[in-house]
Structure formats: C-alpha cells, structure tokens
Chain A
Amino acid sequence: MDFKTLLNKEFISLDGGMGTMLQARGLKPGETPEALNLEKPQILIDIHKEYIAAGADIVYANTFGANRYKLEHCGYTVDRVIRAGILNAKKAVAESENPEALVALDIGPIGQLLEPTGTLTFEEAYDIYKEQVEAGGEADVIVFETMTDLYELKAAVLAAKENSNLPIICTMTFEENMRTFTGCALSSMALTLEGLGVDAVGVNCSLGPAELYPVAEELCKWTNLPVVLKPNAGLPDPVTNEYNVSPKQFAELMEKIVPLGVKIFGGCCGTNPEFIKELNLMLKTQKFNKINHEIPAACCSASKTVVIDRPRIIGERINPTGKKRFKEALLAGDIDYIIGQAIEQVHGGQSPAGGADILDVNVGLPGIDEGEMMIRAVKAVQGVVDVPLQVDSTIPEVLEKALRVYNGKPIVNSVNGEEKSLQTVLPLVKKYGACVVGLTLDENGIPKTAEGRFQIAERILERAMALGIPKENVFIDCLTLTVSAEQDAAMVTLEAVRRVKTELGLKTVLGVSNISFGLPERVIVTHNFLTMALQSGLDLPIINPNVADMTGSVRAFNVLAGYDKNSLEYVAAYGAKKDAPVSANAANAPKQDIDLNYAIENGMKAEGAKITEELLKTTDPMEIINGLLIPALDKTGSEFESGKIFLPQLILSAGVAQSCFEVIKNHFAKTGAKSVSKGKIILATVKGDIHDIGKNIVKVLLENYGYDVIDLGKDVPYEAVLNTAVEQNVHLIGLSALMTTTLASMEKTIALLHENNVDCKIMVGGAVLTPEYAEKIGADYYAKDAKESCDIAKRVFEEFYPHG
C-alpha cells in the first residue's frame, strides 16, 4: 500500500496524540520524548498498535522533535533516533491487525525561529530538515505538522522534495483568529503548499474540532488537495484540568466537518485510541464530499493573499534601470535603501501616496553578484512589508535563488516566447509553484500586430499547461511601446490585452510608463494610457505608485467599474486626514521662517529635504554639509549630552539630517560628482546577537557626520568582519553586543582582527559592556552611547587615519 492508493479509500484515518500517551507512561515535561525510541521501544510499539487497532491507516512515528538542534543534549544522533522511531512503527504495523497501515516520518518545527525574527537562516533550516528526511527514508510518507511559520515549512518541503520521493502531508497550527502565531493565513498556506507540490494540506493542534470548524471551512475554499484535520480533544477545562471533549463528542463534532470536504482525519493533544476508534465508527457512516473549488488567480506572502479579481498595482520602483542613486545603493550593498523603496511604495513616504498591492524586485546591475543581491533583497523586503513580491530578472539562476527564499507564492517576471526562455524559466515556475508573467515576444522580436502577440501568448500558455502549471498562474504582458516612436502601437497593445483577456481568459500585466517616452508632460499620456488599458482588461498595471495620479487612476477605476464596493477603499485612501504627526507640527510653524536648523531641531524631515533642495541651487553641497548640517547636529548632540533633549529627539534630528543627506547624495549621483567621505566604518552586531537597534542608531548618526558606514547587520560571523575590513581597507570597526552571552563573540571578533594584524581601531558598545570590560577584551574605545561613537570616529580619523 502507498499513500496514493490509500487516497482511494472513502476517508483516511490518522492516529491520535503521542505526547499524551507518553506522559501517561511516565514521560516528564521537558524530557526528550524521542529518546524513548531507543531506550524504551516497546512503549512506542504498543502505542502504535493501539492506534492501528482503533482504525488508524497511518501512524506517526515518534520523530516529531528529532532534529539536530533538539537532540543536541540527549546524546543520540538524528539518524539513530529517526531510524529507531520508524522501525518501532514498522514493527507495530507488522504485528498489528492491519499490515497495510502506513508509517509516517513525523517532523515538527525545529524549535528556533527563522530570520528575520530569529537567527536561523532559511538555508540552515533546509539543512536541518534534509538530515531528518534522509534519516527517515524507510517511512511511507513524510508529515510536517504543528508548523506556525510558512517560511520554515517551505524549507522543510523543499528539503523533502529534493531529497526523497515520499509523499508529503503538511499541517499547520492555527489560532482562533484564523492565523498561526507568525501571522500565516490559511489562503497563503494553501496557495504556497499546493504550488510546491505537496500531497495533502491541513490543520492540527491548538484547538478542538468545534473551534477548528471555521478554520477547516476557510482552508477547503483554497485548495483541491486532500484536506487533513487533526484537532485537540477540545480545550483543557479550567476546573477539572482535563480536555473537555469526550471521544464520542469528538466524533460527533468531526461529523459536522465531513461535509466541508475534509478527507483525512485524526486527533492531536489530549486524544487517545478511544477517540480514534469513535472517529472511525463515525467515518464508516459517512460519504466523502468531493468538492471542486475554483481556485482564483492569486499570489501571496505568508500573511497576505492578493486575489487578482480586479486591477492590482505592481510597484516598479525596486529596479536600478535609469536610476543612478539606486545603482549606487546596489554597488554599496545598501539594503536599507531598497527597503526604503519598498516601504514607500506600500505605505507612502513623505507624500501620502503608496498603495502598491505587489512589489516588483529587480536588482540586476553589471558589476554586482545579482543572485546574492536578489537573495538579500527578497529576504529584506519580505521582512518589512507584507505585500507579495514579483521577482524580476533576465537570468534564470537569479530567478531560482529568489524563488527559493521567497516566503509565499510569488510572480516570476518573466518568461517569453523564445524557446530558450520557455525551457529554462517554466520548469522553475512549476517547481516553486509561482505565477509567471509571459512577455509576448520571441526570437523574431515583438510582433507588430495584436494577432501576433496573441499567438505568442497562446503558445506560452500551452507550454506552461503542458508542464502542469495551472492556467490561472499564467499572466500575459502584451508589451507597451513608445507612442511617440510608433503611434499605432498603443492601440495594438490594447487590442492584444483585450483578446488575451477575453479569448484566453488570462490575467494581463502591462508596464505602462514606456508609452510616453520622449513626450513632454509624460504623466498626462501615461495616465490616460493606463485608464484605457484598464478599460481594455488590464489586471496588473506595473507603475510607480508614488505618483499620485497613477495610483489614483487605478483606485478610481475600481470605483467606477464596481469593484470597490461602496467606494470603501477609495474613501479610506483619500477621505481620511493624512497628516503625519511630524508634518502636522510643521504646518503650525510659520513656513517662511523655517531654516535647516529649525527643521533639524524640530524633527521636520520633509521640510529639511525641501530646504536642502532649495539650498543646492545656490550653495555648494559641501558647504551645506559642513556649514549647516554638521553644526546643527553638533548642537543637538551637545544638548543630548547635557540632558536637555533625550534619545528620541536626538534620533529624530538625525533623521532629518539624513533626509537632507539623501537629497545631497541624489544631487551627487545626478551631477556625477563623487561625494566626499570622511572615512569608512564597519558596524556589526556580533555573532549570536540579534539586538540591532543600538547599532542602527549609531549608524544613522555616523552617516550624518559624513562617514561611509558598511553595515554588516546582526548575528555577524567573526570572519565577515575580518574579511570586510581587509577587502575594503577599513580602519574603524564598531561592534555591538547586548547580551552577556554574546560578549564572548565580541571578544572573539576582536581577537581575530588582532591575530590578522588588521590596521584598525575598534570601538565597542552595548548595554552590558563596561569600559573596563571593553579594555579587557582588547577594544580601543568604549562608546557609552551613539553620540560618543561619533566623537570617537572623529578622533580616530583625525589622529590616526587622516586620509580616511
């Protein structure tokens, strides 16, 4: 018997709780249950047999926490524990009345949270799961259960898919708010996992069958895979301390769930063989209710699903093409700049625009490692915004890197009608379960006619479907050409959009900005073309959402076309007061009297930037920096030292100065002038430490004083500090640690720098540090706060490294 054959049964029964059974046999809380596989195998064999006797078709081996992290202290290897666990279950099956029962390799969460919340990387998680999957090769099916982080589950599924041929069942744990602890939504789970090609999805633990009814109902809407439900025995009772659902009630409550279309049933915490027996008695009286759900075209992040049932905005700003400042940021590895672009497009920046539903991410630039940058950009952006991403590259290897580390169901931009593109990109789209944008061009270029483009769209769709990519995952871009160069082209594009939409039934994508190239007042033409395209059936306009007119067009269209019911979203976007607190403050101030000093002292970012722009027309940028910005910063700095202002005010002022510097940097980028750096400084929060905030404050202040800060981030390996210092010839290194447990990492980092005779000074800071300890571990300076780190930097570069 295998899992696929088993699916022919009316229903499949899983087993019940394992922890409950083991605790009843003397396991103490906090002990490693998996060690029993080797120490007391008979206990497990007996439990499995009881479950099979109760009717379980699949029993979960006692391998839930058998990963290298959790077994670290128990003295057994992952391989031994898992092999023994599966062997016990296999023995039980052989000795039972149902020798056809299957054994599942049961795998739970690692026990460490993944980046960006925790420190475990996606790649490490993959490795940990790979080890478990490889050890469990004797099982009949792999189960990942009790998962709360979709990202961790994706690492697990990839590890299983790439290192085993066994079928995969995934169940996550949801709270009553229909989300997991990490905020994963049911729709996102279903779309992502079905895309990755798992064999069944579902829900286990946390609540009883009554509370899980709405959860199961929502899940069933989003998938046509077999759905699994493994609830607890209700909720633990506050008085009797026992779970409040009896085996009979459990079966009755589960019966109500059958019509939803759930196929696979079992029990979790608090359930025992009695529950499984009652469950099976009930299932014998029922018929499986196969429902075919039409799954809409949609992409998602872990917490947000964007259904393409109306025009949705794809923000185009994360793309270096034609943007000098962006290119500089990429060359400098300045990931914060990219994050800033992401946040502005979604939430609006200084102006109340924003409104992107999806973000395109393109980091292609000669001279950088695009693949590595793509991984960093995807991880960083998905860490701060919840909109889904469209990964954009001309290089398939880069696309694959992005697809691997993306948390959710992304869009791939793009494939086209060329044979080579179809052959390399579509298999990636299939493997990672993404949506894909198909460009209507091929070896012969862009067809001049709508018919020509339509035919390519048709071809792309056929090829995608032949690989098993669902039709709703294919979006077509009929390509916008420049109307000033080819006037007929605009209508050809629109006609192609209309035909792809109506005749092929596919969603359409269009980058619209190209249309107005070479014309004056471009926004008028672009904006009108956008409206025409929407009317022709455009679903996914790729635009700059920071241009209020463009976003406004889409919002207005959604009202006029009847998608935005009662204009709720439109009113939400424009009807409410949008005054940010800081600009509200500014509005009260007499406008004409504001100078740079005033803006900096009062935390007025937008005004600071505006004044700087004005000043640049008449004043040398260096004079603005040295004559205005630095003195203003010195003033707030000394006010901070004397206790006249406190930390948030200091940082707010620094933030204004930063927005002024950003304007100056843009000016330098435009004029091609090299900005003058006062020196390069590495900042890092040491290995093992994830308290980043202090270091980030220091960074803002140092940048304001004109230093080039190379921010290595948090949890930084010792070697990374050494290598960067050597490669980039950096003479000042700032290290931060906030825990007594991570001070050792600081010491090791310093030792490594000294061992390698790096010509540099080291300053350290962090809550648990003292000047004495700093000296003891070999640091040159102890900085008690961010302000002092600026003083140290000044001294170091003046005294030791006057040339930066």
Chain B
Amino acid sequence: MNRLLTNRAEFVIISLVMKMELEKLDRAEAFRYMGHKGGEIPENITALADECEERLLKNAAPKFVWRVFDIEKTAEGVLVKGTPLVLKGRSIASHLRVCEKCVLMAATLGTSADAVIRGYESGEMEKAVIADCLASAAIEQVCDLAEAEIQTALSGMHFTWRFSPGYGDLPLDIQSDFLNVLNAQKRIGLTATENLILVPRKSVTAILGVSENKLPKGRRGCAACNLKETCAFRKSGKHCGG
C-alpha cells in the first residue's frame, strides 16, 4: 500500500510505507563515509554494522514532503512564485537556467534516528560512528525514493539533480523560509536551528529543477559543492559520485 497524502501537489508519505521501502541501507556508501578506501570490511565491523543497521531500521521514521512551484528569473535571483523565497547566487541560477518550475523537497529520518546515534555516543563510539554514517546513507536513499515518487507524480517532465541550500553560492539562510513554505515542521517534524542546522539531524532540503523540455546532461560536479575545499574524497583524488 503506497498511500499518498496530497495537498496541491504537496505529498507526504506515511512513514510505514517508506520503512518498507528502506529495508536495506546502502552499506557501501556508509563505509565510504567512514573513510573506507576499498578492500574487505573486517568481520567484526560488519557485525557491528548489522546491529546498527537493525536498530536504525527499527527506529527511523523516514518522511518527506514536496511541492512544485513556478519560478521566475530576475536580477535579484530566482523567485519561487507564490512564496517569499528568492534563490540567490550564480550556482542556483545556472542549475535552473532551462527550467520553468522547481520542486522544493524536504526529507528526514526523524528524531528517533538521532536518538539511536546519541545512545551509542556515551559508551560505544564505534557504533555511534557506524550508525551515523549508515543514517547519512539512509537519508540519501530516502531522497532517492522521494525523487522517484516525484518523477512518477510529474511524469513526462524532466528534472535536474538535487541542489541543496548551501551548495555553491546558494545561501544557507533560506533554510527557515524553505521549511515554512513546505510547512515542514507540521508535516514531517523538520526544523532548523538559529544556526541553520536541520533538526532532526539526518534530514535534507533540496531543490529540483523541472522542465517540460529535455535538459542538457549536466553532472553535479565538485565545483558546485560547499565541501570542495575539505572533502576527503577529493583529497584522495576521488569524488563522492553525487
């Protein structure tokens, strides 16, 4: 049963559905976040990852919300029509340059995923680190699933990759307005702190460009990323594949 709640192209997936979808976490991705550079994962670490994954799957309550808006490009930035949001900066302008619409989406694993990690942190740091990275992989998986739902709901349209506040020169300080526009606290329990950190911790906000026309193939490169100076992947001559 895949029950959708919609309010003018605004969807919330009931947590149960997503949980069923998220029956396995992306281990390879999580180990990469932990700095694993290839080779076999030792047995005792795999066993710990099993335990952490089970706890996370049992406790995480993934939810997401999204909504599609018309956009208008002005000198000030990209206006998200019908909202107070203005997306400023060159990178988002370029990201959306051939799009007429955009999707604002927000996803979270919920407070209980944070609690799992916090519980490990006081005495079992190795599990905390593993759970933290598994949860990071999980929220990306949730976003992928959300994106798939969005593409199905808006079939026939073409999409850019997910661009988040803070990427490139898109200011992070739109975070609060972004969440308000989606009514994210009420719908999925997602908030931002005064320092613009999303809480629950394992959450994502992102913008997808939408167009009726086929989009030029553009990959999300390191240049757009706000971690490009410090990224561990880049330092070792690789990239995260995003």
- Interface residue ranges, A against B (CB under 8 Å): 28-31, 69, 109, 111-113, 116-120, 146, 148, 173, 175-177, 181-183, 205, 235-238, 241, 243, 336, 339-340, 343, 383-385, 581-582, 584-585, 602-603, 643, 646-649, 651-652, 654-655, 688-693, 696-697, 700, 739-742, 745, 767-770
Contacts and interface: CB of A to CB of B under 8 A. Distances in A.
Given A30-B84, A111-B191, A343-B119, A696 B200 contact: no
19 contacts: A29-B180, A29-B182, A109-B185, A117-B114, A117-B200, A117-B201, A181-B111, A384-B115, A384-B119, A582-B44, A582-B48, A646-B35, A647-B34, A688-B194, A688-B195, A693-B121, A741-B196, A745-B195, A770-B229
Given A175-B14, A585-B43, A648-B48, 12 more contacts: A109-B185, A118-B193, A119-B195, A173-B186, A177-B16, A238-B4, A582-B44, A646-B36, A647-B35, A689-B195, A696-B125, A770-B229
Contacts of A182: 111, 189
Contacts of A205: 186
Interface residues of B, number: 71
B126 A651 contact: yes
Nearest to A604: B44
B44 A585 contact: yes
B48 A692 contact: no
Contacts of B213: none
A231 B180 CA distance: 21
Contacts of A689: 195, 197
A695 to B, nearest CB: 10
Interface string B31-60: 100111100001111011011000000000
B7 interface: yes
A113 B230 contact: no
A241 B125 contact: no
A376 to B, nearest CB: 13
Nearest to A116: B118
Nearest to A148: B189
A30 B83 contact: yes
Contacts of B217: none
Contacts of A646: 31, 34-37
A30 B6 contact: no
A29 B111 contact: no
A768 B5 contact: no
A146 B186 contact: yes
Contact of B226 (A69, A340, A585, A740): A740
Contact of B124 (A111, A183, A655, A742): A655
Interface string B106-120: 000011101101110
Nearest to A118: B199
Contacts of A111: 185, 191
A156 B209 CA distance: 41
B121 to A, nearest CB: 5
Contact of A693 (B31, B129, B166): B129
Contacts of A700: 125
A652 B121 contact: no
B72 interface: no
Contacts of A384: 115, 118-119, 122
For B5, B9, B119, B122, the residue with the greatest tally of chain A CB atoms inside 10 Å of its CB is B122
Contacts of A243: 7
Contacts of B51: 581
A102 B112 CA distance: 39
Nearest to B112: A183
Contact of B193 (A112, A238, A585, A647): A112
A767 B166 CA distance: 14
Nearest to A235: B5
B92 interface: no
A1 B112 CA distance: 44
Nearest to B117: A693
B181 A29 contact: yes
Contact of A768 (B4, B130, B201, B227): B227
A598 B10 CA distance: 56
Given A30-B181, A646-B36, A648-B34, A740 B172 contact: yes
A interface secondary structure, majority: loop
A336 B111 CA distance: 21
A657 B134 CA distance: 25
A117 B34 contact: no
For A181, A243, A385, A651, the residue with the greatest tally of chain B CB atoms inside 10 Å of its CB is A181
B21 interface: no
A243 to B, nearest CB: 8
Contacts of B84: 28, 30-31
A237 B3 CA distance: 10
A690 B197 contact: yes
A688 B193 contact: yes
Contacts of A692: 121
A241 B47 CA distance: 46
Contacts of A343: 119, 122-123
A120 B42 CA distance: 40
A768 B230 CA distance: 6
Contacts of A688: 193-195, 197
A408 B188 CA distance: 23
A647 B119 CA distance: 19
Contact of B48 (A109, A118, A235, A652): A652
B45 A652 contact: yes
B82 to A, nearest CB: 6
A585 B128 CA distance: 20
A222 B214 CA distance: 57
A737 to B, nearest CB: 10
Contact of B227 (A120, A173, A767): A767
A648 B126 contact: yes
B85 interface: yes
A238 B4 CA distance: 6
B77 to A, nearest CB: 15
Report the 3 A-B pairs with minimum CB-CB distance, sorted nearest first.
A581-B47, A181-B189, A688-B195
A39 to B, nearest CB: 15
B45 A649 contact: yes
B183 interface: yes
A383 B15 CA distance: 23
B132 interface: yes
B8 interface: yes
B177 A113 contact: no
Interface in B51-88: 51, 61, 82-85
A740 to B, nearest CB: 7
Given A584-B47, A646-B34, A603 B126 contact: yes
A36 to B, nearest CB: 15
Given A584-B47, A649-B45, A742-B195, A29 B186 contact: no
A741 to B, nearest CB: 5
Nearest to A385: B119
A103 to B, nearest CB: 23
A735 to B, nearest CB: 15
Contacts of A116: 118
A406 B8 CA distance: 41
